[in-house]
Amino acid sequence: MQELSFGQYSLVYNAFSFTFATMAAATLFLWFGRSQVGHAYKTALTISGLVCAIAAYHYFRIFESWQSAYDIKNGVVVASGYAFNDAYRYVDWLLTVPLLLIELILVMRLSAEETVSKATKLGAAAALMIVLGYPGEIATDIPTRILWGTLSAIPFVYIMWQLFAGLGASINSQPESVRELVKKARLLTFASWGFYPIVYMIPYTSLSGSNVIVGVQVGYTIADVIAKAGVGILIYMIATRKSQVEYGDPAHA
């Protein structure tokens, strides 16, 4: 483990703690929000809340792992000998990334066949992207990191292309009043997902040692808040607005 300054240690510690609270709060908001939408949109909100719940659990574990990886002695941060466990993050992604794509598809309320076929294709590609990225994330040399990162980028590009080309046609069939919001949810997904491979490439830059550890951990954490809680709130807004159009008062739908 690299030497961290006390400030660096605290920054990551606080980022994990804040994100645990954000994910837990977003879970409650999204699950309680189910009563505000018509029945066709309840599953989209259940899944959006589930994504945040899974992330809250993993941030709690990541936070604990960070704490046990270092000891503070007289204000100096020293490695405790326990390795910080990066696997929590990847297990979290393996579960939440396919679910995030499914919540986006569900809120569009496509035909049953289209929903199943898009959810299967995109969900499988997302899982493949995460599985291929993991050996690179834990690699200690740059060539191995580049190899697995490049392989992982293949399903990533496919997903991004599907979000734009594949869902583009479906977006035009959405009610006028939500079309812009659905585009925003797609754009926020696109932008936040694009941030992950950039963070992954931090070790390729001139940054080194503890700066890499801090950059990667804080970078992924910011991206997770936007991609899960941020996109979840947009899904909630789309679902309530579509419910008003399609059901009138959703409380009596």
Ligand X SMILES: *C/C=C(C)/C=C/C=C(C)/C=C/C1=C(C)CCCC1(C)C
Instruction: Name the residues that contact ligand X, by CB under 6 A.
Output: 93, 96-97, 100, 129-130, 133, 149, 152-153, 156, 193, 196-197, 200, 224, 227-228
Whether residue 150 contacts residue 130, with contact meaning beta carbons closer than 8 Å, is answered with: no
Which of residues 56 and 181 has its CB atom nearest to ligand X in the complex? 56
CA-closest candidate to residue 78, choices 2, 13, 8, 17: 2
Residue nearest to ligand X according to CB distances in the complex: 133
User: What is the amino acid identity at position 234?
Assistant: L
Residue 217 CB, shortest distance to ligand X, in Å, is 13
Which of residues 76 and 154 has its CB atom nearest to ligand X in the complex? 154
Which of residues 129 and 239 has its CB atom nearest to ligand X in the complex? 129
Which of residues 70 and 193 has its CB atom nearest to ligand X in the complex? 193
Q: What angle do CA 216, 194, 100 make, to 5 degrees?
A: 100
Report the Cα 241 to chain-centroid distance in Å. Answer: 24
Residue 196 CB, shortest distance to ligand X, in Å, is 4
Q: Tell me the C-alpha distance between 61 and 179, whole Å.
A: 38
Q: Which helix (H) or strand (E) holds 122?
A: helix 112-137
Q: Tell me the C-alpha distance between 200 and 147, whole Å.
A: 12
Residue 95 CB, shortest distance to ligand X, in Å, is 9
The owner of tokens 């994910």 is 23
Residue 15 CB, shortest distance to ligand X, in Å, is 15
Which of residues 84 and 156 has its CB atom nearest to ligand X in the complex? 156
Residue 220 CB, shortest distance to ligand X, in Å, is 8
User: What is the amino acid identity at position 84?
Assistant: F
